[in-house]
Amino acid sequence: MKNKKKIAWAVTGAGEKIEKTYETMVDIQEKYGDKVEIRVFVSNAGKQVLKFYRLFKKIKENFEYVSFEVNSNSPFLAGDVQLHKYEFLLVAPCTSNTVAKLASRIGDTMITNAVIMGQKSQVPVYIMPVDFKEGVTVTKIPNGNDLILELTKEDIDCVRKISNMNNTFVFEDTDEIYNIFKEKF
């Protein structure tokens, strides 16, 4: 299919859910590859985390188009999102740092800049924050050990704030990504 729809998939520096997100990305590409071209955009912190979880090489091997952040305008994801070159922008997984910046309207990274421009230009933005519910959570680090994290009221207040922004859809788990693609394609 020559005229595939383009999706911008942004990866931040979240270790939580990164392995499941990667598996979902590959699966979605297999299921929708004849209709959709997934373009992957990785933040500076995302690059570090992908290496830490041994996914850096895999993501480059499995996706034709992978770009790494140089600064907030390079690659110029925000401009392409603003010009509706993508059907939607998907940020998964999304760190609490990125969520807090978005809640405060700080567009100083490639991804936060693109999200804000997408919101302003009525491009759907889907965000999967890793900190979704207040309380204690247990995650796995790359060596298999548990890491116990306390998700604070302040973290979750930022999630609530971005949930109420125009053209923004916040969801909790990678399973929801399948619903997004099913609905759109």
Q: What is the mean pLDDT of residues 55-62?
A: 97
Q: What is the pLDDT of residues 11-57, one digit of tens each?
A: 999 988 999 999 999 999 999 999 999 999 999 999 999 999 999 99
Structure tokens given for 95: 């760190």
- Taking the CA atoms of 112, 106, 51 and 132 in sequence, report the sign of the dihedral they define: negative
pLDDT band per the 50, 70, 90 thresholds, residue 146: confident
Q: First-to-last CA distance in the chain?
A: 14
Which pLDDT belongs to residue 109? 97
Instruction: Please say if the pLDDT value at position 1 is more than 60.
Output: no
* Helical pair 18-32 and 175-184, crossing angle rounded to 10 deg: 30
* Tokens representing residue 28 in the block: 């979605």
pTM: 0.92
Task: Tally the domains of the chain.
Answer: 1
Q: Look-up: residue for tokens 């985390």?
A: 49
pLDDT the model gives residue 6: 97
Segment 116-122 mean pLDDT: 97
- 153-184 pLDDT, tens digit each: 999 999 999 999 999 999 999 999 999 999 99
DSSP-assigned states of every residue in 58-125: HHHHH-SEEEE-SBTTBS-HHHHHHTT-SS-EEEEEE-HHHHHHHHTT---SHHHHHHHHHHHTT--E
Domain holding 103, by residue range, is 5-184
pLDDT at residue 151 greater than cutoff 80? no
Pairing of strands 135-140, 146-151: antiparallel
Listed as own residue / partner, the contacts of 76-79 with beta carbons closer than 8 Å and 24 or more positions apart are: 77/8, 77/10, 77/41, 77/110, 77/111, 77/113, 77/114, 78/107, 78/110, 78/113, 78/114, 78/116, 78/117, 79/117
The CATH number of the domain where 149 resides is what?
3.40.50.1950
